[in-house]
């Protein structure tokens, strides 16, 4: 899970458009791949020099350039010059703290989103900064490191499955967004399982560890929410944008992705409600236990304190205490004490403390 405030200040004061990579470097090598296709043709290649991709700018085929690793500023810069990208786009690609947004430029549409992942070791989700540049016949995608949720899309392009090979670059961009959004459900499921297992633990025994887990869950849900809320606006904006890059037929698909983001937000809110409820249950369990402890103390103390007083009386050393001399004094006192104890117990039963 993310820290609430990340280092962003190293860019403070720099002129806008200065290309600085913000965030930690998550990979050593930068990997560049392109897929170029139309309904009939298809080629895919991993290249070491970004300029190999420039040939496709002029062709009518759809080209998808994918770049894993965004710390090599020179590559981004070259690409920017070749495709005529606005300095703010380049800045947005490099700034891993960029809030999800889309920006409508004349020559292209820029989309920045968060791709979620789940770290099984740390038992928490993390976000990866992904940017898309959508032009009339190309999509360029930037990721922080190798490994993504786009493999099924590549397969569909390679094998000409579905309608993707017949559609334009806007449909490709939509498919990428859809893959990212669909993956949120996978993360939410993991969180859902975690919520359930902590919930069961809590009913069995409310420990302080559980409390810390509940709070960490809460923070994780807030973190997720922060990633999804702007996503919703983003996709709504894209769907309603007047850009000519997005065809009418693709908008209905974007509306579908929009519905998914709403569903994700609903699920997050449900989980938040559940977690809040767990906190309430925890707190009242604690107070119930306290109550039980107090009751035991009270019962024991209120029974034995008067009895101890009685035995104390006959432990006094007064010379003239007639009861001490009686033949059945001891027995009578024991009897009286038994009576006191029994009436106390009856009183407690009446009060429903037993």
Judged by CB under 8 A, the chain residues 12 through 71 that form the site for a copy of itself are 12-18
Q: Is 151 helix (H, G, I), strand (E, B) or coil?
A: helix
- State how far the alpha carbon of 7 is from the alpha carbons of 2, 4, 221, 227, in Å: 12, 10, 22, 18
Phi, psi of 5 (to 5 degrees): -120, 120
CB 228 within 8 A of CB 184: yes
**Candidate segments 44-52, 71-79, 139-147, 322-330, binder of a copy of itself by CB under 8 A:** 322-330
Q: Is 26 helix (H, G, I), strand (E, B) or coil?
A: coil
Q: Is 308 in the site for a copy of itself (CB under 8 A)?
A: yes
Q: Is 345 in the site for a copy of itself (CB under 8 A)?
A: no
**Candidate segments 7-15, 23-31, 60-68, 114-122, binder of a copy of itself by CB under 8 A:** 7-15
| Closest to a copy of itself by CB, 324 or 335 | 324
Q: Is 297 in the site for a copy of itself (CB under 8 A)?
A: yes
Q: Is 113 in the site for a copy of itself (CB under 8 A)?
A: no
**Candidate segments 51-59, 77-85, 114-122, 181-189, binder of a copy of itself by CB under 8 A:** 181-189
Q: Is 302 in the site for a copy of itself (CB under 8 A)?
A: yes
| Closest to a copy of itself by CB, 51 or 314 | 314
Q: Is 101 in the site for a copy of itself (CB under 8 A)?
A: yes
* DSSP-assigned letters across all residues of 241-285: ---TTS-HHHHHHHHHHHHHHHHHHHHHHHHHHHHHHHHHHHHHH
Q: Is 161 in the site for a copy of itself (CB under 8 A)?
A: yes
| Closest to a copy of itself by CB, 46 or 308 | 308
Q: Is 230 helix (H, G, I), strand (E, B) or coil?
A: helix
Question: What's the gap between Cα 337 and its chain centre?
Answer: 63
CB of 262 to a copy of itself, least distance (A): 6
Q: How far apart are CA 248 and CA 107, in angstroms?
A: 19
Phi, psi of 103 (to 5 degrees): -135, 130
CB of 209 to a copy of itself, least distance (A): 11
Out of 47, 146, 222, 336, name the contact with a copy of itself by CB under 8 A: 222
Question: Edge-to-edge strands of the sheet including 42-47?
Answer: 42-47, 31-37, 62-68, 138-143, 124-134, 109-119, 101-104
Q: Is 342 in the site for a copy of itself (CB under 8 A)?
A: no
């Amino acid at each position: 899970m993310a820290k609430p405030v990340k280092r962003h200040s190293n860019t403070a004061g720099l002129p806008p458009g200065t290309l600085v990579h913000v965030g930690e470097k998550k990979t050593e090598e930068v990997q560049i791949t392109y897929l170029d296709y139309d309904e009939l043709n298809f080629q895919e290649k991993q290249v070491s020099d970004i300029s190999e991709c420039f040939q496709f700018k002029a062709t009518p085929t759809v080209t998808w350039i994918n770049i894993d690793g965004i710390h090599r500023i020179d590559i981004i810069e070259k690409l920017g010059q070749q495709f005529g990208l606005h300095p703010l786009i380049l800045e947005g690609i490099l700034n891993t703290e960029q809030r999800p947004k889309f920006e409508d430029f004349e020559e292209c549409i820029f989309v920045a989103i968060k791709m979620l992942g789940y770290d099984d070791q740390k038992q928490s989700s993390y976000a990866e900064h992904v940017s898309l540049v959508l032009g009339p016949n190309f999509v360029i995608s930037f990721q922080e490191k190798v490994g993504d949720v786009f493999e099924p899309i590549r397969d569909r392009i390679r094998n000409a499955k579905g309608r993707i090979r017949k559609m334009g670059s806007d449909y490709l961009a939509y498919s990428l967004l859809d893959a990212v959004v669909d993956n949120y459900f996978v993360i939410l499921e993991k969180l859902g399982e975690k919520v359930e297992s902590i919930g069961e633990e809590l009913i069995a025994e409310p420990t302080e560890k559980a409390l810390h887990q509940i709070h960490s869950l809460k923070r994780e849900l807030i973190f997720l929410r922060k990633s999804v809320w702007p996503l919703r606006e983003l996709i709504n904006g894209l769907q309603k944008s007047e850009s000519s890059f997005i065809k009418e037929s693709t908008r209905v698909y974007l509306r579908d992705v929009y519905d998914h983001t709403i569903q994700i937000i609903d699920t997050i809110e449900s989980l938040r409600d559940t977690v809040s409820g767990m906190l309430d249950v925890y707190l009242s369990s604690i107070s119930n236990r306290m109550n039980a402890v107090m009751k035991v103390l009270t019962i024991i103390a209120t029974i034995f304190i008067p009895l101890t007083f009685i035995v104390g009386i006959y432990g006094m050393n007064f010379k003239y205490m007639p009861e001490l001399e009686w033949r059945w004094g001891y027995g009578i006192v024991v009897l009286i004490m038994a009576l006191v104890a029994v009436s106390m117990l009856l009183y407690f039963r009446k009060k429903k403390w037993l």
